[in-house]
Structure 1
Amino acid sequence: MPSFVRLGIVAALAAGALWAVLSIHWYPAEEVLTMWVYGSPQEAELYRKVAAEYRQQHPEVRLRLEVVPGRSVVQKLLTGMDAGHAPDICVLHWRQMPQVASTGQLLPLDDLVRRDQIATGDYYPVGLQAYTYHGTLYGIPVKGSTITCFYNKDLFDRYGISYPTDDWTLDDLLAKAKALTIDEDQDGLPDIYGCTPYDIASYVWSMGGDFLRQENGRYVSNLDDPRVAQAVQFYVNLYFKHKVSPPRPGVRSDNAMSTFTFEAGRIAIGIMGPWMLPTFQLLDRFEWDAALFPQGPAGRQTRYASVGFTIWKGTREPEVAWDVLKHMVSAEATTKMAKLGSDLPPQRSVARNTYPRAATPYEEEVFVRSMDYNVRLFPQELWWEDLYRRMLDELDAALTGRESVAEALAEAHQVTNTYLQRMYAEEIP
């Protein structure tokens, strides 16, 4: 690993290392099989129930489940692994995977999956790809989802705007957002904004661009692609040219930005995902529904996110840990997770048979259909999160109006190539 990447990661971990050591509960590995989970209170309770079912079926296994803070799980996990006392099984978000898998401390699962004939064909391919690092599978997802959108039906009805359809486009999004950016009290400031666009990746991909490309087997910046510029310009125009999105932090505004939320009824279209369902299901001030992310010139391409179970390579009971993992991600378990109404089961059959429920007042099947399009991941590389943060730091100048899109992209392009060149130079013996 390049020293400058390694130093950045070490610096980020060092601050929490001592706290992590002090906060870990140490258990004799030969006596107790430990499992760490994190998530919402409802998810944590479900994990407890599923683990309790396993204990009932296997009373000979001493399985201890601990709920840990998601923000600190990687620091705690790596500290425990280095000390030789880590949880046998641990939940990881897919973006945490490269940092842990790159240490060689996770148990490869490919042989176990083949041996036990796990029905991988029933999984959404992107879900298993999310837990594959440099060609090796290290985890099995328990849930996942992609970007969709929510819309305020009351606002659409009040102003006579047609609802989004499956074939709507980014141009349609802009047209509807313009029509639904409303100055209700005629004071010169919008009281309702047309949309909140979420992050920029799905726009770049749907315009046909990408952040990186490969040349001679190595990554280089793709931020000089005109399609990337088109996507970033579209995104920036939502804020500055068309003013259909509430100002971003760092932009001077007379409006109180914190009040402009979908939940408050002041955003007509919110680009988000099904992880917001537990919150939105409590809304009673207006009717809302869900729709697919709009199509761009390159179709509908959206970002995936997931949570999955992994096994520590140092576990003294790999077969038992694998048996527990299979139980935690079984169709029965993911069916129960789906009933919480947040994210999708990773298996197609479970998603299609369980997630769309007739009793819900919104079109829940949208979230299942969203997985039938080009659902994508960022590069599963240790350095990606650091590089992506640096890209966005440069693009922020355009997203906050301090620079033009062309200027910000030129700087981001240079920063990206410099980063990658240094990384590859330090990898060469």
Structure 2
Amino acid sequence: MRKLAVLFVCLLCLAACQSDPAPVSFMVFGDAAEFAAYEALVAAFEESQTGVDVTLTHIPSQGDYRTRLATDFAAGTPPDVSLLSYRRFGAFAAADQLEPLGAYLDDSDVIARDDFYPITLDSFTWGGELACIPQNISSLVVYYNRDLFTAAGVPEPADDWTWDDFLAAAQTLTLDLDGDGVTDQYGAGVEASLYRISPFVWQNGGRIVDDPANPSQLGLTREPSLVAFEWFVALQTEHGVVPNREAEASMDSETRFINGTTAMYLNSRRGTPTYRESAAFDWDVAPLPRGTQAAGVLHSDAYCLSAAAANKDAAWEFIEFANSPAGQTIVARSGRTVPSLIAVAESEAFLDPAVRPARSRVFLDTIPDLQMVPLLSTWAEIENTATEEIERAFFGDISAEEAAILARDRTEEYFTLALRP
């Protein structure tokens, strides 16, 4: 009888364990279309097994998401799994707040290092260890309104178009439609930031930092870099093909593009779900116009595991599934990502000809030209501070040269304080 009682208790414990899946928290940002993709991902994962229960938290604003993550990590209560850009994960990795995932990946029977585009793994390597598993590999591209191009008789952008071609198209497509002296349609829209000017600096043979291997200051004051910066600024201050400060404040360029009153908008792949859902016109993508050479800037996010997570193995199960061919296919079909898995990027899940953009292969063809911004623990501060001066130049408050000097001087302390991989 005693043995039967013990056996009964053991069976009850086993049943309790089986009915109580391990909880894993997962936090993401993005608009409704992006969030729907992650809801589908979590649902598919939970259908595939019964041992892990994922709680999904959605922060719509990217800025609010960054603030929330920083606050939660500082308080010791971060989500188990979060999406981080390679531009920003360094601050968390340097503080030992992330669980390295290289060993998990090497032990996986589902995914392997060779499955990924190499630059994505490089961009999340810290201290010789793979810190996070990359989800995507986007470049900056030009989204363009095909209807506006056709109406104006402007040829669609070629794969090898130049800065001059871009400017000429933007000038033709910038229009005062009612003759009141106010621009109603802009040729282009672009965020005035260090991240956005970087590929143009590289295309002109310049550098955004003095030494890419061991950066100690920004390099925008050097002539090839400054010339590219001046070209970028002149789009607004000289040519007026992008909105000025007042126009941008009244309606931002992305909204103008969605509304059909901006012909071209520079963005990464993350804009695709929104444009599919909200743009009531025919649109497509083109590579960045070329300078003296081709160059693009890497956009990549990764699933990162908090070092404070109570159920690391369970969290890894979710990360592994999310980056399996099945998981990446789900998110890729939403349009949100250029998959970091080579096989999924080359599949119809990403290159589906039935959905926009028709020229999705542009994202893959430009991968060999991608470059990374530096991996530094203080890169977010460097980027934000430099962007303040770049915006001032872009909207005509100061010259590009003055902005380059101020950006260099104001960020010097962040370079000094930076921890490096």
- TM more than 0.5: yes
Cα distance in 2 between the residues matched to 1:120 and 1:376: 20
1:95-118 superposed Cα distances (whole Å, 9 cap, x missing partner): 331222121121112222223364
Cα distance in 1 between the residues matched to 2:154 and 2:218: 40
| 1:121-270 mapped onto 2 (5 Å cutoff) | 121-198=114-191, 199-214=196-211, 217=214, 219-249=216-246, 257=251, 261-270=256-265
Cα distance in 2 between the residues matched to 1:54 and 1:287: 34
- Structure 1 residue matching 2:256: 3-state secondary structure: coil
Shift of 1:212: 0.9
Residues 171/290 of structure 1: CA separation in 2 closer, same or farther (3 Å cut) = same
Match of 1:412 in 2: 407
Structure 2 gaps of 5+ residues are 1-19
Match of 1:47 in 2: 38
Which residue identity is paired with 2:240? Answer: K
Match of 2:301 in 1: 307
| 1:3-402 mapped onto 2 (5 Å cutoff) | 32-39=22-29, 40-59=31-50, 61-69=51-59, 71-72=63-64, 86-116=78-108, 118-198=111-191, 199-214=196-211, 217=214, 219-249=216-246, 257=251, 261-283=256-278, 285-299=280-294, 301-353=295-347, 354-360=349-355, 362-402=357-397
Shift of 1:232: 1.0
Shift of 1:343: 2.1
Shift of 1:395: 2.9
1:214-239 superposed Cα distances (whole Å, 9 cap, x missing partner): 29945233122101111111011111
Q: Is the 8 A contact 1:233 1:405 kept in 2?
A: yes
Residues 159/80 of structure 1: CA separation in 2 closer, same or farther (3 Å cut) = closer
Shift of 1:326: 0.7
Q: Is the 8 A contact 1:178 1:242 kept in 2?
A: yes
Cα distance in 1 between the residues matched to 2:46 and 2:157: 47
Residues 162/188 of structure 1: CA separation in 2 closer, same or farther (3 Å cut) = same
Which residue identity is paired with 2:116? Answer: Y
Q: Normalized against structure 2, the TM-score is what?
A: 0.82
- Structure 1 residue matching 2:157: 3-state secondary structure: coil
Match of 2:13 in 1: none
Cα distance in 1 between the residues matched to 2:259 and 2:75: 48
Which residue identity is paired with 1:163? Answer: E
Match of 2:3 in 1: none
Q: Is the 8 A contact 1:291 1:366 kept in 2?
A: no
Cα distance in 1 between the residues matched to 2:163 and 2:42: 44
1:359-418 superposed Cα distances (whole Å, 9 cap, x missing partner): 125424244335423223322211111122222223333222122222222232333345
Residues 157/382 of structure 1: CA separation in 2 closer, same or farther (3 Å cut) = same
Shift of 1:64: 3.2
Instruction: Give the structure with the larger strand fraction.
Output: 1
Match of 2:10 in 1: none
Structure 1 gaps of 5+ residues are 1-29
Deviates further, 268-277 or 108-117: 108-117
Residues 265/81 of structure 1: CA separation in 2 closer, same or farther (3 Å cut) = closer
Which residue identity is paired with 2:157? Answer: P
Cα distance in 2 between the residues matched to 1:87 and 1:254: 35
RMSD, aligned CA:
3.0
Q: Is the 8 A contact 1:33 1:88 kept in 2?
A: no
Cα distance in 2 between the residues matched to 1:312 and 1:79: 14
Which residue identity is paired with 1:296? Answer: G
Shift of 1:169: 1.0
Aligned residues: 390
Shift of 1:46: 4.0
Match of 2:14 in 1: none
Residues 79/33 of structure 1: CA separation in 2 closer, same or farther (3 Å cut) = farther
Cα distance in 2 between the residues matched to 1:207 and 1:376: 14
Residues 186/93 of structure 1: CA separation in 2 closer, same or farther (3 Å cut) = same
Q: Is the 8 A contact 1:145 1:273 kept in 2?
A: yes
Shift of 1:330: 0.8
Residues 62/180 of structure 1: CA separation in 2 closer, same or farther (3 Å cut) = closer
Q: Is the 8 A contact 1:44 1:67 kept in 2?
A: no
- Structure 1 residue matching 2:147: 3-state secondary structure: helix
- Structure 2 residue matching 1:221: 3-state secondary structure: coil
Which residue identity is paired with 2:149? Answer: F
How many percent identity over aligned positions? 26
